[in-house]
Amino acid sequence: MKKHIAGFILLLLLAACGGNGLPGADQNLLFAESFAPGETGDWLIEGDAAGQTTLLNENLVIEIAEPNVMQFSTLTTPGFTNFVLEVDARQLKGDLQSSYGVLFRMQNPNQFYRFDVTGNGMFMLERRNGDGSWTRFLEDWQESTAIRQGYNEVNRLKVEAVGPSISVFANDVLLMQASDNAYTSGTIALDAGTFMQPGLQVAFDNLAVREP
């Protein structure tokens, strides 16, 4: 089942008026989201027996009840080409090897880039291809001390995408850079995923997208 959360997009005009409530807002702000009731953007909310997304306590919360499931919520408009995206993310429960993060330059539900971290301090940058395969920009998941581990630990995730150049950060620490021109623009989404263990819950807040 799918439904759209009625609301309005917080664009540059709102930032100029100081109405977005996010720290560090400036004239380069393209979109901001604090998930406040009545002020949310056009997020696609999906749910079934395997996983669901809800807006709870001014957070976007993803819960997954089954193993080997990826659940995401897409901001249907606007789309972005060159941008800097930041969001606060924290794992509330579940296996700490589960992942959570950001999808960007989405063409459709099967074509996008994904930057995810895990509750035990690992990260990955990869591309989902239209044929269902994945292209990884790392040989395997990599560990970083910049990623805060455990439950209720807030990680500020950041993606810089300018032309073919992609840089990903955790808590203002650069994790890696890659170059790829398969997808040059698209929408964004917030995601979480399980591996062998079900029962994952992740919360997102304070999302901002700015010009580079």
Q: What is the pLDDT of residues 150-179, one digit of tens each?
A: 999 999 999 999 999 999 999 999 999 999
Which tops the pLDDT comparison, 144 or 22? Answer: 144
Q: Dihedral of the CA atoms 132, 136, 142, 147 (nearest 10)?
A: -70
Residue 55: closest CA among 1, 3, 118, 117: 3
The model's confidence at residue 9, banded by pLDDT at 50, 70 and 90, is: very low
pLDDT of residue 199: 96
Residue type for position 160: E
Residue 203: closest CA among 47, 58, 9, 44: 58
CB distance 193 to 50 below 8 Å: no
Q: How many CB atoms lie within 10 A of CB 58?
A: 14
Q: Which letter, b or e, does each residue of 130-154 get, where b requires 16 or more Cβ atoms within 10 Å of its Cβ?
A: eeeeeeebeeebeebebbbbeeeee
Q: Taking phi first (over 0 means left), then psi (-120 to 50 degrees means alpha), and beta for anything else, what does residue 35 get?
A: left
Residue 147 has pLDDT above 60, yes or no: yes
Residue 99 has pLDDT above 50, yes or no: yes
Residue 7 has pLDDT above 80, yes or no: no
The model's confidence at residue 126, banded by pLDDT at 50, 70 and 90, is: very high
- Across the chain, mean pLDDT equals 90
Domains annotated for the chain, with CATH where assigned, are 42-203 (2.60.120.560)
The model's confidence at residue 38, banded by pLDDT at 50, 70 and 90, is: confident
Q: What is the pTM assigned to this prediction?
A: 0.87
Mean pLDDT computed over 66-79: 96
Q: Is 15 helix (H, G, I), strand (E, B) or coil?
A: helix
Task: Enter the tokens of residue 57.
Answer: 């306590």
Mean pLDDT computed over 29-45: 93
Q: Is 16 helix (H, G, I), strand (E, B) or coil?
A: helix
pLDDT of residue 39: 87
